[in-house]
Structures are given as structure tokens and as C-alpha cells.
Structure 1
Amino acid sequence: MRAAVMEDQARPLAVRELRTADPGPHEVVVRLSASGVCHTDLHMLTGDLHVPVPAVLGHEGSGVVERVGAAVERVRRGDRVVTAAAGSCGRCFYCVRAEPHNCDEIAVRVTTPRFLGEGGVKLQGLAGLGTFAELMTVHESSVVPVRTDLPAAQLALVGCGVVTGVGAVVNTARVEPGMTVAVVGCGGVGQSAVQAAVLAGAACVVAVDPVERKRASATRVGASVALAPHEGLAAEVADLTEGRGVDVAIEAVGSAATITTAWELTRRGGTVVVVGAAAPAERVSLSADDIIHSRKTLKGSIFAGGDAQKLIPLIVRLAEAGRFDLASMVTRTIRLEEVGTAFADMRQGRVTRSVIVYGDGDGGPNGQEGGAR
């Protein structure tokens, strides 16, 4: 089967013939139908974030279970599934306290190599997945079964960008009806956060992004107002919130500048949630005096900020009911060989998401059919 392989950070991804490992007792083999191309993949490619090379990138996908290990209980052969990057164990200190996103075993599960290259070389899949491949072997906790006719290209986005943005709002920030919310950065994660805030009953949702196309998209999915960053932004947002600033700010970019912006837009005693993937070297400077006297809370959010196994099916049901817009986030569909153009478009801010579609399908529910063996 074919996969787009990162052989080192200095070169474009190369499409290679690989084998996927036979499934262990708690592992499954998934034939991918579609895979989103996420900013985290770009961070790996540029070296801002690290994964051992060679590696198969991609961690946002949908597909069909093709094989199951002897002890698998969560899914069956033939199930449609969405990826879940944080496969939790259900037994550790964090899992028994309803914090599966903090599970002790995540680090082990996401670094286990399950692809085999020429000469028996082992390759790791990003986040324990590797959705830039026609087939992947993963732990059963890294996929979520869904019964739906939603197109595969839309469904793929739920596995990372969508569940990340929604989780930041409902699990980490715990937005309640009547609250005011700012979302800084309106890519896939940000647009998902905007929609989640609207569904949670926010009275005002302010979207912030320098790209006009993304501001327009944020407005279409429910933002009350969409603003470009500028020197007087905090004052403008204060005017929209009776002089206070927002109750909650969601930062969905991953830079010191945008984290600082989110902090400045938030009212005294409010909450700032950082969900954008930042490079380890990125440093944020905050006044110690401001931390004390503003009484603001700063939180990080990752892996949906909670139980993705529960949140993903909920998002799918909302999308089926027409209450959550996945279609608008799929800017274009591409073939595996075109993944390099997806990164170029991402760098230029031309897309919300490019989605790789496998086989002979168009990203519909049967897009997995006809794929290479």
C-alpha cells in the first residue's frame, strides 16, 4: 500500500510503498477513506515539532475497519471509524478520574511504530496513526466507530481539528449560555470553536483572523462579528462586551503573539484557553502583576480536553442534523500525490482544510472503495 513518508524535514513528503504491521491483540487495521491535512502535520514537516524520521504523517482521518486483533472489543470489521489521536487506557490515575486526555499510556501508544518499509525499516505514524497512508494499524482506542452517511472527507475532519476546537469550548472552557467568547485564529480548529460556542449558547462570539476569507467563513458558521487584528482590537472587543472584555478567549493559532492577544481580549476573572499547536521554543511573556490583579485563568487544551470517544459521535449527530457545518471547512479534496500542494496552500492561508481522498471515491461515505491493495 502507498503512504506519504517524511524522510527528513528538509525534503517534501515522498509517496512510498509500505506494509502495515499485523494487528496485535488490541489493534485494528483501518483502510483510510480520507485524511485532513492539519497544521500539526506542517509543524512536523518544518521541524517546529518533532517526530522521529522516517515517519508517516497525518492524524485526522476516516475509514473502515478491515482487520481486528484477537482481543479487540470496541470495533468490528466493517465499521466506519473516525480517528482519535489520544487513545487512552481507561485504567490509569487520570483515566479513572475522567481525564482520558491526560492518560499515562498516550505517550507509548502514539510512538509505537506500526509501518514497515523496505528492508524491514520501522516507521512511526504521527500520533499513533499515520493517515497519509491507504492502510494503517492502530490501537483500538485510537478510533471511534460511527454510524453515518456523512461524506468521508467531512468525517475525517472530526478526528482532530473539529473535536479539538469543540472540546476546547465545551470541555476545557466550559462555556455556558449567555457568555461572551473570542476565538483567535479561524482555521479548522477556530471555526469549530466558533460553532461550539454558538451551540453552547454564547451571547456574543467574536472571531479574530488576519485573513478576510477566514473571517467571512467564521461569520457564516455563526460568529457575531469577525475582526482583523489591529492595535485597537482589545478596546473594540471591550466595546462589544459592555466595557469588560470576553468571558472566554480560545487561542487557535499557537504563537506568542496570538496567545497575548487572547489574554488582552479577556475580562478580569475570565478564562484563556490555548489550543493552537506551538513550537517548544515559543515563549509567552505576561506581567506577573497582571496575572495577580487580572485574576484570569490560563489553560491549555489538547486531545479534545476530555473524552473524544464520547464527543466525536455527538459532533457527528449534530452534523447529520444540520446543526454543525463540516462541509464549509473542506476547501478542496486532493489525491495522496498532491499532499505537497496542500502544505503550500496552508502556508499561504488559502484553505481551511485540504482533504486527501483515497480510492476511486469523491470523499463520500463509500470513498474507501477501489483503493490500492
Structure 2
Amino acid sequence: MKVKAAVLRQMGASHPYAESKPLGLETLELDAPGPGEVLVRIAAAGLCHSDLSVINGSRPRPMPMAIGHEAAGVVVAIGDHVEDLAPGDHVVMVFMPSCGHCLPCSEGRPALCEPGAAANGKGMLLSGECRLHDGGDGALIHHHLGCSAFADHAVVSRRSLVKVDKDLPLDTAALFGCAVLTGVGAVVNTAKVQPGQSVVIIGLGGVGLAALLGAIAAGAAQVIAIDLSEDKLSLAKQLGATATFNPAYVDAVGEVKTLTNGGADFAFEFAGVVRALENAYAMTRRGGTTVTAGLPPPDAALGVNVVGLVAEERTLKGSYIGTCVPVRDIPRYIALYRQGRLPVDRLLSGIISLDDINAGFDRLHDGSVARLVVRFDEQGTAA
């Protein structure tokens, strides 16, 4: 079948993206789903910094590639051996398919799935196949993180999908596949924040704000938000942050240490900047934990004082996709959303059309939005 998709043919685009237009809207050929695969009509797809890092070349991927990884949609058709989904089901996409058989999957750590990571690195589906082709010469078009969600339809592995209730708005459902899994998961899975503890969040994009909501839901007594955007700090305050600081105007490290009597129990870094991670580490107390889910360029390195790490029993942890088990965590987070304890819909900054995707990435790059979502209508065309 023919699909309309946003395709990146060359990485390294410079901002502003609306002028350089690194993403071209192309008509591609999409194969039918193979064994263990599902054809999904995309309803909504979020713009994320992980997309932007491929566009600007800071996280290299094979080209050309159909971009997009945070999405929700409706099942249209299923391939052989898919027995627990049917046409009409609503699903959320997860950008790390888990094989269920490798050692990390066996240990309950599907975010570290080895075949899934290998397939993502090659721009293929979990099966090792590619279902997208150039509409003209039939050349292969790579899949972005097994999803390629900036398109009206996508074929994905069944292992990349979590079924959700049909009454959940799909614009909101899309955010659970990346921003919420990564942000909330970093708090409750990676760090295991307990009631009454103190938390610092650095970087208030969609993931950072989701983490802030997760910290509040976990019962943290202090939830301190750090960002360079006054608008995002204002939103963090509205969402329940107990204090906010803009490091452009104040010594944020000093302010946090004063407010927390020496440092926070946990500091989370979501900016993807080494300096921000250094600050997060400096903001934690003796015996505290620093968690990073930011993804800077591959050559970025952190210098840590080893004596302090040892003598103060500090912990420095990475968190990928919130150390999640998607089939377990997404329903849990949706339940909290329905109870009003995880107001994920407030992270949605606006709805755009697929035609405006390059301009949307300008807004994401500028830091003026938390999450923009491309919405498609019921026929699968860009709304």
C-alpha cells in the first residue's frame, strides 16, 4: 500500500529546520505485515528530542529513514502468529521491541533487549526485515526505532505494541510510549523514589515534566525543577513543583543544596548536556543518587571525582526507557492518569499537521514546547 511519511535522507541539518526542510514528505510503498507484525493506522505521533538528535546527526542512524517513534494508533491488519490483537484495537507504540528470549528480557529488563537494540541500530524491524520502500525506485527506507511513526500507516513488530482501551484519547495515548515511560519510569523504576524524599529534575521537556509528575505521584516531599525556560518553570510550578530555579540567573546548585539541607536524595538529568549532568551530580547529598536519561552525542564524557563517589557512597545510574516493562508499566501509568494523579495531557503543547513537521522541530529545538503531536484523521491522512 502507499503511505505518506516524513523521510530523512541526510543527517546533519542545521536549525532552523523550517528553512532547510530536512524532513521531506514522500509517498512510500509499505509492504503487508509479515509474521509477528502488525499494520497500524497512526492517529497521533509526538515530536521528541530523540527524533531531533537523528535529524541533526548527533545520534547517527542509517539513511534514508522514515522518522518518528512516539505514537498511538489503530490496528488495521495482523500478520501470521499474531493472536492477541485484532483490527480495530487501539495500541501505543514502544520504540524498543523486546524479543522476550535474550538474557535481559529473561531478567525482566526488556528495555535492554539485545536483538531489539541490534534491529534499531540497523533501521530494521525486530524480524530483521524492512517493510518500507521508495515509491519510485523501490529502494529500502529504514525504520526509525522500529516505528517510523510520522506516517499515516506503519508496519511494526507485535513486540513494539501495547494494547490500550479505546476510550483513551489517542493524542494523549501517544505520550505514554516515550515521554511517560522514560520520565515516570526513571523515577519509579530506575530510582525507586519513596514518599517523603527530595527530588531534583533538570530539563523540562516532555520527559522531564513526565518525571516531575512521576515524582509527585510517588509522594516526594520536595520536587525541584530546573530549566532555562521561564515558561516551562511556570508550567512545572502549576503541575506541583515545590520550587523552581533558572540557572541562567541563580546558582542552581547552591540553591538546591540550601533548600534540601545539603543536597537532594535524587537528581534526574533529562537535558542531554554533560554540564547539566555535572550539576545534577553536585545537587545530590552524600549517599544520594543521580539518574540520567539524557542522550548527548556519543562522544560526550563525564568526569567524576572517584574519591567522592566512593567515600560519600554516591550512586550514578543510567536509565533507558525508564527501565520499563511496557506491557506492565503503560497500563499502570494510564490508571494513574485516569485517577488524575498523572495529568499527562497537560504536557501536550499543541497539535500540528504532518505538513508542519519541520517547523515543529524548530519549536522543539528552541525549547518553547514540551510535546507537540502530529495528528492524523480517521482515514490516516494528516489532519
1:78-117 map, 5 Å? 78-110=88-120, 111-112=123-124, 113-117=130-134
How large is the RMSD of aligned CA atoms in angstroms?
Answer: 1.5
1:135-174 maps to which residues of 2 (within 5 A)?
Answer: 135-174=153-192
Aligned to 2:268: 250
Q: Is the 8 A contact 1:336 1:356 kept in 2?
A: yes
The answer to whether 1:176 aligns with 2:186 is no
- Runs of 4 or more above 4 Å deviation: none
2:71 is aligned to 61
Displacement of 1:259 in angstroms is 0.4
TM-score, normalised to structure 1, is 0.94
**Aligned residue type for 2:257:** A
Alignment partner, residue 341 of structure 2: 323
Give the counterpart of 2:308 among 265, 290, 293.
290
* Partner Cα separation in structure 2 for residue 123 and residue 173 of structure 1: 38
1:69-120: per-residue Cα shift (whole Å, max 9, x none)? 1101342221100111111111221111111111121124423132111211
Deviation at residue 370 of structure 1 after TM alignment? 5.8
Structure 2 vs 1, CA of residues 295 and 324 (structure 1 numbering), >3 Å: closer, same or farther?
A: same
1:223 aligns with 2:233: no
8 Å CA contact 2:43, 2:380 repeated in 1? no
Report the equivalent of 1:198: 216
| Ranges in structure 2 where 5+ consecutive residues have no aligned partner | 14-19, 125-129
Identity %: 37
Equivalent residue number for residue 236 of structure 1 = 255
User: How many pairs are equivalent?
Assistant: 363
Mapping for residues 6-21 of structure 1, pairs under 5 Å: 6-9=8-11, 10=13, 12-21=22-31
Deviations 1:44-78 (A, max 9, x none): 00000111111011100010011101101342221
Aligned-partner residue type, residue 235 of structure 1: G
The correspondence for 1:281, drawn from 294, 299, 319, is 299
Contact 2:181 2:324 (C-alpha < 8 Å) held by counterparts: no
Q: Check whether the contact 1:32–1:134 (CA below 8 A) recurs between aligned residues.
A: yes
The aligned counterpart of 1:121 is: 139
Give the aligned partner of residue 127 of structure 2. Answer: none
Q: Which residue does 1:77 correspond to in 2?
A: 87
Q: Deviations over 1:291-349 (max 9, x none)?
A: 22232111111122120221111122222222211222111111101001111111211
State the AA in 1 paired with 2:200: A
Distance in 2 between residues matched to 1:231 and 1:139, nearest whole Å: 47
SS in 2 for 1:331: strand
TM-superposed deviation, 1:234: 2.0
Q: Determine the C-alpha separation between the residues in 2 that align with 1:18 and 1:135.
A: 10
Q: Is the 8 A contact 2:73 2:91 kept in 1?
A: yes
Q: Which segment drifts farther, 69-78 or 348-357?
A: 69-78
Bigger Cα displacement from structure 2, 120-129 vs 106-115: 106-115
Letter of the 2:131 counterpart: R
Three-state SS of the structure 1 residue aligned to 2:40 is strand
State the match for 1:365 in structure 2.
none
Deviations 1:250-295 (A, max 9, x none): 1111111110011011011111110012110212222222222232
How many Å separate the matches in 1 of 2:241 and 2:285? Answer: 19
Higher alpha-carbon deviation: 260-269 or 70-79: 70-79
Mapped partners of 1:286, 1:26: distance in 2: 44
The alignment partner of 2:92 has SS state of strand
**Distance (whole Å) between structure 2 residues aligned to residue 370 and residue 163 of structure 1:** 25
Secondary structure, counterpart of 1:263 in structure 2: helix
Instruction: Measure the CA separation in 1 of the matches of 2:180 and 2:368.
Output: 19
SS at match of 2:74: strand
Partners of 1:79 and 1:181 lie apart in 2 by 38
**What is the distance in 1 between the residues matched to 2:337 and 2:348?**
14
1:5-44 maps to which residues of 2 (within 5 A)? Answer: 5-9=7-11, 10=13, 12-44=22-54
The aligned residue for residue 287 of structure 2 is: 269
Tell me the amino acid that sits aligned with residue 212 of structure 1.
E
DSSP 3-state at the match of 2:141: strand
Shift of 1:231: 5.6
Tell whether the 8 Å contact from 1:4 to 1:57 is kept in structure 2 after alignment: yes
Residue aligning to 1:187? 205
Q: Which amino acid aligns with 1:95?
A: C
Unaligned runs of 5+ in 1: 360-367
Q: How does 1:299-310 map to 2 (within 5 A)?
A: 299-310=317-328
Residues 153 and 380 in structure 2, CA contact (< 8 A), matched pair in contact too:
no
TM-score by length of 2: 0.91
Code of the aligned partner of 1:73: E
